[in-house]
Structure 1
Amino acid sequence: MSRWKELPAELHPHVRQLVVRLRRLKDHGGLSLRQLSAKTGYSAKSWERYLGGRSLPPREAVEAMARIAGEEPARLLALHEVAAEHWSGTRGAAPAESGRTPDVPEPGPGPEEQQPRRRSRRVAVVAGTVTLVLAVSAALLMAVRFTGASGDGDGDRGGGAAAASLAPTAASASRSPARYTCRVERADGRWYAGNSRTRDAIVAYGHAGPEVAEAQCLLGRAGLSPGEVDGIYGPLTQRAVKRLQKREGLVVDGIVGPHTWKALRGTTPT
């Protein structure tokens, strides 16, 4: 077992943890610094600095140590990543050793010290990109959910023309709700509630207007309460529409189109 010198007091705890772990792996393998140099390609003097806490080892050196010791590199590299984040703030640039002649292929001290900073910048860029992608994805998901663009089938969407009819947005639902009444009557073999006589308008979650109120009235007549008849297509209305579609054997997508209007205007009360 090597008799290690005490590590510098100013070392950050995360840096100290990495160095202590590297020391243990070296002791466990019974390797001298010269043997470690031969197996990793980093000079014995470099390893003396790394294991003495005077210079942060590059990622490749840490990975080589893990490979030699037969240990999974992921955990050791994670320790190195954290240590690199704290190295420049606690120790600054590694002190130069007077009269030292770098050994080949030992990386020069400049790249060794710059590497953690470059890696930190790469980590920051990747994190920023991931955050931006998540934010955009969340916004798109909210937009799709709001317009009721579910993927349960084409059912009442009626192709491109029907999809274009889904254009009403939050602005239509945010206006003060109009007052609607249900004056349900049967004419020409169909039920009407006095708000709209449409038989093919596309009505979906987030929409508002007389067509929504008409659907709400007819849902109530069919024994499927959509909540308050306010002309706003909300969760209760959507749930009632899906129950009707399931009962009538239609595609259950929560969108009122020609097939669902046919069921609403022709269904007998349960």
Structure 2
Amino acid sequence: MPRIKPLPDELDPLAAQLVVRLRELKTHGELTMRRLAAGTGYSARSWERYLGGTSLPPRAAVEALARLTGTDPVRLLAMHEIAAASWDIRRAESPGEHEPEEQRRSEDEKGERREQEREQGQPPRRLPHIALTAGVLALTVAFMAALLLVLRLDENVAPAAVATPAGTAATTPPHSYLCRIARTDGRWSAGINNGRDTEISYGDTGTDVAEAQCLLRRAGISPGGIDGMFGPLTLRAVKTFQDRAGLVVDGMLGPRSWKALRG
């Protein structure tokens, strides 16, 4: 396992809260950078920057990671919204210190520049208007209060609907299915996909996946949530079941694996 690098000291605390949570989801889902890139549509290099704290991930990337790991995105997106606002405030306070990564100087060069400024007696940069400074402080206090409310939410309690700003697409929480385990004519069924044995594999979604998740849970193997998404936890559960049943451990649910699940 690669050693987790510490976050930059200058990283905004609200952004650091978000990055730590994204790292936890990556670790819990046992995702490599390659699988993370394949499952979200964002490159491994981009995720290195996001998880390293050198670049704030876009909202769509955060939502894609929540979907990939089977996590309710509402609380995660609220944390991202607060971090993004604070990130923008810091950019306004220090407009010359947040250029694109490829144009940034090395840490040594930055240190030399600071030393030269101190030696020349240059005054620190300040915002030109007192009203703008007051507005920035007021926004910071408001977002800190919102963050405290978000962090107090119990993750096991269904969150209330979050108002979506104008011009922003609403986020639909992941669907959940109810397992109705029954045995008919010697075959187990969860009552979700009408008894189909459709071949499914990693990345698939829908009722066939939810049916398999219910039957895996009946067999004593947890696939995570019953959400109809064939993600990392479901993949691990399928492989565990195949190994116990003496089947080929390929992570795909084909006719033989379905037969063993329903048997």
TM-score range relative to shorter protein: 0.3 to 0.5
State TM-score, norm by structure 2: 0.36
State TM-score, norm by structure 1: 0.35
